[in-house]
Structure 1
Amino acid sequence: MSRNRVASVLVATTMVALATPALASASPIWEPCKDVATGWEPTDDRRTECAMVTVPVDYARPDGRKIDIAVSRQKATGHARRRGVVLLNPGGPGQSGIHQPRWITDSEAAGIGADHDLIGFDPRGVGYSADVSCPSLPGDDAEPPVSLPDKEKARFVFERDAKMNQRCVAADPEFVRNLTTENVARDMDRIREALGESKIGFYGVSWGTALGAAYRSEFDSRVDRMLLDSVMSPTLDVGAMDDAMIAAGEVTVREFTGWITRYDAIYHFGDRQPAVLEALMKLRDELTEHPRTVNGETVDGETVKGYLAGPRRDWANAAKALAALRDGGVPTAKPTSERGRGFGWNAHPNGYNTFQQTAILCNASVGPRDFETIWQRRLDRIREYPAVASPGIWNGRCAGWPLPVQPWNFTKGTSPLQLVGHTYEPVTPIGWALAMRERIGGALLTVEDDHHGSLSSLPCVSKAVEFFSTGKTSDGSCPGAPIPPPSSR
């Protein structure tokens, strides 16, 4: 769920084309993706098939304006025991899903495709599915004057983003208003109809878990089996997202500094966790006050913060980098963190659309939108979580958003549901999975790692394969990948 601001998202050329797409037939016309989709990998020897499915922009006006949703398919490899289809979504929002069948086939989760057709799709407003954009103007990425106080710098950014959000919505208000998680779920049901299936399976990650919850809430009887990995909160508030993610990051900093104490002979920060944390906070503060340039690179307090709450798989690399900063050097590796023109198959998608993400989130977020409340929430967050000391990345996303809020309203169902949470993960904290289970039901499998959506890369994914084949759920736990020791980096 990252906050990448990509200037190339803001392109207006597709807006006119949205109004009059070519209508797709009721039954999809499947063709090899590499033959019809611009930019498709030409070596796709699995012959992934692609088709378009037509849906209404506004489901309250089903006979009104239409768009086409791009769908991909890999047929079940075990044809004799095929039992249905599984739709796939990798998260976002704003992320393409058209390549998901190939990625699942190349993962530890490939067994799902033995008895199911794997179905990918680009959600409305992304990639080949009516990629939504708006015109960029000078000043969209303007930075506040350095002479301003911190609060006025934040106000500058808030007002800049509010103007851009309002302009983006005004470019096509009907389409943007209908960029909702619920409408993407309704598009999924149109895909189900086009495939001729009475029920579908679904495997969603991150925001894809909210999408699955929305589909199951409205179409429970049409769900075969549903698995949701790295689960979102059942109530969307972009400010609360920041609160929970930064709280998880604060815990990670303390666990990381505890890990460093075990290797004091290597890193020399101290053999007690409080001393290590104090040393790193002192290093951060010193570089904040006195940034330095080494070998042409500037290092400052933000450089230190970039390493403090990283994933466990990078702890050895991060500790080495922090030791280099302490000793006056420059890290050899950077910290880890988690669009062309055209329309339909002629689009040149980059796999991600920041404005579609903004629309999906801001159309549903119930949090405050005024600057003063957001600023105070930022101050409270920095004070409450001093190690991470982050103002948050989502809280101001909906600045000036002019459309009414359409909150998520997920409900319980009876169809088979497997939730997957990750004990130490900061992107979708484990508490969200617990809250979602309380809201919609299902079993909760806990993975002992901090890697967002990692199930498909772990041996534990055998439980997911079994679930889709037999319907058996799990409330147990399974290990994640081990933390690499310093000697392995």
Structure 2
Amino acid sequence: MSITRFAVPLLAAVALVSAVPAVSAAAAEGLSWQLCSAVAKGWDSGDQRSECTLVPVPLDYADPGGPKIDIAVSRIRATGARTGAVLLNPGGPGQSGLAMPRSIAGSRAGGIGVHHDLVGFDPRGVGYSADLPCVVDFPEPDPGVPDKEKTREGVERAAAANRECVAAHPAFVRNLTTPTIARDLDRIRQALGEDKIGYYGVSWGTALGAQYRSLFDDHVGKMLLDSVMAPDLNVTEMDDDQATAGENTFHEFAAWIARYDAVYHFGTTEPAVAKALLELRAKFGATVNGMLANPRREWPGLARQLAAIRDGGEPVADTKTTGFGWDGEPQAFNHFQQTALLCNESPSPRDFDTVWQHRLDRMKRLPIAGGYGLYEQLCVGWPLDARPWSFAKGRSPLQLVGHAYEPVTPIGWALEMQQKIGGALMTVEDDAHGSLSSLPCAEAAVTFFDTGRTTSKSCSGAPTPTP
């Protein structure tokens, strides 16, 4: 297959071609690998290691001989004696994974790439893999409209745009599911000529890994899942659990500020600081609210800004509102693909009034972080029925990694996933989402992929900062 371009629109990528046969190990050399910098628009021209190719997969696995789409795949070859390949996914859903081999190779987990090819890919509907051209972009409602009606207007307009996109691409959107992408992953495995693959997934990538292992355990060599999703997807429960973790983060932040009262002057106890911050929020609203439940690495800067606002400085309007959102909004992120995957698989309410009442109940229960939830409202008006995840235990070596204090994928999710699919759980003592590859204990990941040896030890994260 000759690569002439990567940025292919959806309708051009869905082509009637012959079915893809099973691929032997020798056939992997038939893939046409070229430097990503030569074929992928916008790629760093200085990258001379990352290679790219396209792997055709069925649009619908129920019709394997029908239309195909191309999945964009990248790799960085092993630097030493090669023993296999490790496929990588950074999460999302909706996030590009094509650059992940380069990021892992340059991280503390880079030793995985000594004996393994590092392989990334863009999931269908993202980036170079038939990126779905669906955008929700509406002007803000009149600021005088009450909050409920303002939110209703935005949510219902988004729902109308979503329904329009589903109607325009019904087969494609219907197949935006975790099991379908797991089957794409197996087609990549076949195209690489590997009987077994390693897999390293972060955030939603952990659900993809769990699904792949449930379907294709015999083809898993070793699997590592960092910042683990819950085994049962429900966006209502996601919003609840993340808000609960965010509420805890606020009180930890207030206690940290109290420890440094000589610097910030909000009070010497956590209750006193919490009261002062809530009074500041009542005066300045959303700007201050967006500073109250963020990751620890941001605490010194946020405390400094909060003190400046209290002392008469101007509020900073463009401060990040929360640290939530599984992976923030990275480059090559497709919001519609994320919505489709979540709503195709979450048995959550589809009507606005129920979702709004859940939000009010959450805010009453969790006054700091209860209003941060974003995921449940994405599925209002979603026109397709939910097909929930179904994971199972396997025999292949499995290492789970949870983070003790993070609000994005709370540690309880990792414990639930371990109960569902097994594996050993390493706990990182930090609040940073998917941070394993940046820490000294990433060496445990290198050892795992080289030997299959798991660990249940704790791992030190980055230290809590000082002012």
* Fold shared, TM-score > 0.5 on shorter chain: yes
Deviations 1:255-295 (A, max 9, x none): 110011111111111101111100110111122xxxxxxxx
1:383-394 correspondence runs (5 A): 383-394=364-375
Tell me by how many angstroms 1:375 deviates. Answer: 1.0
Aligned position for 1:344: none
Superposed counterparts of 1:87-102, under 5 Å: 87-102=87-102
Q: Which amino acid aligns with 2:32?
A: I
- Name which of 350, 356, 379 aligns with 1:375: 356
SS of structure 1 residue aligned to 2:87: strand
Shift of 1:436: 0.6
Question: Deviation digits for residues 101-127 of structure 1, max 9, x if unmatched?
Answer: 111111111000001011111111111
Local SS of the residue matching 1:419: strand
Q: Which amino acid aligns with 1:305?
A: N
Alignment pair present for 1:191 and 2:188: yes
In 2, the alpha carbon distance for the partners of 1:430 and 1:314 equals 21
Within the candidate set 428, 433, 443, 1:447 is matched to: 428
d(CA) in 2 for partners of 1:198 and 1:272?
Answer: 58
In 2, the alpha carbon distance for the partners of 1:276 and 1:91 equals 35
Deviation at 1:202, TM superposition (A): 0.2
Q: CA deviation at 1:387?
A: 2.1
1:171 CA displacement: 1.4
Aligned counterpart for 1:324 among listed residues 305, 308, 313: 308
Q: 1:160: Cα distance to partner?
A: 1.2
Indicate the residue corresponding to 1:163 in structure 2: 160
Which residues in structure 2 correspond to 1:69-468 (within 5 Å)? Answer: 69-79=71-81, 82-134=82-134, 140-287=137-284, 301-330=285-314, 335-336=319-320, 337-338=322-323, 350-468=331-449
Structure 1 Cα separation of the partners of residues 276 and 245 of structure 2: 21
**Structure 1 residue 30 and structure 2 residue 33: aligned?**
yes
| Secondary structure at the counterpart of residue 55 of structure 2 | strand
> Shift of residue 391 of structure 1?
4.9
Q: Relative to 1, partners in 2 of residues 1:43 and 1:22: Cα closer, same or farther, differing over 3 Å?
A: farther
Separation of aligned partners in 2, 1:154 and 1:179: 27
Kindly indicate whether the alpha-carbon contact (under 8 Å) linking 2:84 and 2:194 is maintained by their aligned counterparts in 1.
Answer: yes
Distance (Å, rounded) in 1 between the aligned partners of 2:197 and 2:461: 29
Deviation at 1:17, TM superposition (A): 1.2
Q: Distance in 1 between matches of 2:372 and 2:428?
A: 29
* Contact 2:202–2:227, Cα closer than 8 Å, also in 1: yes
Which residue pairs with 1:297 in the alignment? none
Amino acid at match of 2:312: G
1:160-186 deviations in Å (ceiling 9; x for gaps): 121111011111000010011111110
Paired residue secondary structure (1:308): coil
Letter in 2 for 1:64: G
* Cα deviation 1:426-471 (Å, max 9, x = unaligned): 0111111111111111110000000000000000100111000011
Deviation at 1:389, TM superposition (A): 4.2
2:357, 2:318 → 1: CA distance? 32
- Give secondary structure in 2 for the equivalent of 1:451: coil
8 Å contact kept, 2:287–2:317:
no
Separation in 1, partners of 2:155, 2:35: 45
Partner of 2:26: none
The alignment partner of 2:456 has SS state of: coil
The structural deviation recorded for 1:21 is: 7.0
Distance 1:272 1:434 in 2: 32
What TM-score do you get using the length of structure 1 for normalisation?
0.88
**Shift of residue 16, structure 1, vs aligned partner:** 2.4
Q: TM-score, normalised by structure 2?
A: 0.92
CA distance in 2, matches of 1:366, 1:285: 35
Pairwise CA distance, 1:335: 3.8
Q: Distance in 1 between matches of 2:16 and 2:77?
A: 28
1: distance between equivalents of 2:183 and 2:239?
28
* Structure 2 CA distance for aligned equivalents of residues 51 and 62 of structure 1: 21
Match of 1:67 among 58, 64, 69: 69
Computed over aligned residues only, the root mean square deviation of the Cα atoms, in angstroms, reads 1.8
Where does structure 2 lack aligned partners over 5 or more consecutive residues? 1-7, 24-29, 324-329
2:9 matched to which residue of 1?
A: 14
Q: How much does 1:22 deviate?
A: 7.1
* Alpha-carbon distance between aligned partners in 2 of 1:209 and 1:21, rounded to the nearest angstrom: 32
SS of equivalent to 1:277:
helix
Conserved 8 A contact 2:35-2:48: no
Question: C-alpha separation between the residues in 1 aligned to 2:390 and 2:383?
Answer: 21
Question: Do the aligned partners of 2:75 and 2:120 also contact (CA within 8 Å) in 1?
Answer: yes
Equivalences, count:
445
Question: Higher relative contact order by CA 8 Å / sep ≥ 6: 1 or 2?
Answer: 1
Displacement of 1:382 in angstroms is 0.6
Flag structure 1 segments of 5+ consecutive residues without an equivalent.
1-12, 288-300, 339-348
- Residue in 2 aligned with 1:58? 60
Q: CA deviation at 1:332?
A: 7.3
Contact 1:127/1:350 (<8 A) preserved: no
Q: Is the 8 A contact 2:199 2:223 kept in 1?
A: yes
Give the one of 456, 462, 465 matched to 1:475. 456
Tell me which amino acid in the other structure corresponds to 2:31. P
> How many angstroms apart in 1 are the aligned matches of 2:14 and 2:164?
19
- The 1:482–1:334 alpha-carbon spacing in structure 2 relative to 1, beyond 3 Å, is farther
Cα distance in 1 between the residues matched to 2:103 and 2:257 = 35
Query: Shift of the alpha carbon at 1:333?
Result: 9.9
| CA gap 1:268/1:86 in 2 versus in 1, 3 angstroms | same
Contact residue 14 and residue 59 of structure 2 kept, 8 A: no
Please say if residues 428 and 460 of structure 2, whose CA atoms lie closer than 8 Å, have aligned partners that are also in contact.
Answer: yes
State the 1:233 CA deviation: 0.9
Q: For residues 373-402 of structure 1, what are the alpha-carbon distances to aligned partners after superposition, in whole Å with 9 as ceiling and x for unaligned?
A: 111100011101112341511111012111
1:74 to partner: Cα distance: 1.1
| Structure-2 residue corresponding to 1:5 | none
Which residue number corresponds to residue 326 of structure 2?
none
> 1:330 Cα shift?
2.9
